[in-house]
Amino acid sequence: MPSENIETSLHQRDQVTCPALFLTAPASNQGKTTITAALARHYSKLGKTVRVFKTGPDYLDPLILAQASGNPVEQLDIWMAGEAYCQERLFLAAKEADLILVEGAMGMFDGEPSSADLAACFGIPMAIVMDVKGMAQTAAAIANGLATFREDITIAGLIANRCGSERHAQLIRDALPETVPLLAALKRDEEVTLPERHLGLVQAEEVTQELEQRFDAAVDWLCQSDDKGLLSLPEPVVFSAPDHSYEASVVEPILSGKTIAVAKDIAFSFIYQANLDALERLGAKVCFFSPLHDSRLPQCDAVWLPGGYPELHAHKLAENTSIQTELSAFFETGKPILAECGGMLYCFESLTDLEQNTLPMLGILQGQGAMRGKRGCQGMQTADCPQGAIRAHAHHRSRSANTPEPVGYGRRQRHPAPGEPIYQVKGLTASYLHFFFPSNLTAIAAIFSER
């Protein structure tokens, strides 16, 4: 949508109401994504337009939630994108949706900002998802403690996940205060559990049909609860337009006439839709290619190698020497390449996978990458690039060695130690950091412009 139309659309009506629910939990691995996906599919099957958002930096959950809801899923994070950006995304979604669902990250009060901060900022009621296996009245005590920890949040109720029996559910129900109703008691059912691997959930495109079966089973799972709080739409929330449209703020198509080729396949898929939208807002044309399957690089002015799972496909990447030759030749021209995390591992001279096989990679960046099991790094960082500061995050379980001198480092949110190194060689910018492009469009435009 052109910027002037977005500005007009925002202020034709400064407020809009839409039912909304924020799915949170006392910790990770409580079943938030499974339940959010089940709710999205349930209401979609009823003919409702469901828009789902995911808090914080996450690539895998949104793909699953998009398949469940039938609509794109966007990230919401006040630190990464700013309050006005988040406000605009919610407002525009509310104008078209019958229901907005937001899935939180980690525990309810974890992080700065936390899920609770985001919910409080926009007045979205929170449903607490809790794995209640091995406890009963204690689950009620924990839920009540979460509900009363802060006065600026609204609690819709508790979703008791992995409940053993109706008696188990009744013990929890009886112990809850009236202010925290039991919205659902969901039985233990492995048929609805989403498949996982070492960095999180398996990518949706790898298990599309299996996910469809699990979504259908999950809808039945929801409907089997004796508590029906989740089977009726939550109360409407008032969403307001920001004073100034983020999208309309892009006043100059700095990348006009440029084509950016983006690696996209099951090895490279950690791509925010917001990043693609940002490139297009800057005037660029975006096309895609597969380092796994393609032999030629599309005609382009710049390349983006995003993160993903190159370690799971290292043999095939090493065997595709045609695309390696194309990318190496492109690098030698000095044209821009952005390589993030898995994309950087692909740029190294070699990559050692989880089975300790060492395979040759592109070799356009000095160094070697190696997987290291469960140890790794994660967290929010500001990427202090020569082109400007870009909000970003790290999430990897690999290490690198014999790399060149970095041009900068990530700046951690709360720790003084340097974050992830940032390398620039010829036109290549490489780091373990995943950049959130909308946080600094000017810096992103400079990275994708020839130096």
Rounded to whole angstroms, the Cα distance separating 338 from 433 reads 11
Between the alpha carbon of residue 352 and those of residues 100, 355, 358, 364, 370, the distances in Å are: 42, 8, 4, 17, 4
Catalytic residue among 18, 86, 163, 341: 341
- Which residues on neighbouring strands pair with residue 424, listed in sequence order? 429
Rounded to whole angstroms, the Cα distance separating 110 from 399 reads 26
Is residue 121 flagged as an active site residue?
no
Residues near 163 by beta carbon (within 8 Å), at least 6 away in sequence? 132, 169, 172, 185, 186, 187, 188
| Per-residue buried b or exposed e for 74-95, using 16+ beta carbons within 10 Å of the residue's own CB | bbbbbbbbbebbbbbbbbbbbb
Place of tokens 């949170």: 24
Strand locations in 191-323, DSSP E? 196-197, 200-201, 236-240, 259-263, 268-270, 285-289, 302-305, 307-308
Tokens representing residue 249 in the block: 């703020």
Between the alpha carbon of residue 321 and those of residues 29, 284, 290, 295, 312, the distances in Å are: 40, 28, 13, 8, 18
Peptide bond into 113 cis (omega under 30): yes
List residues with catalytic annotation: 341
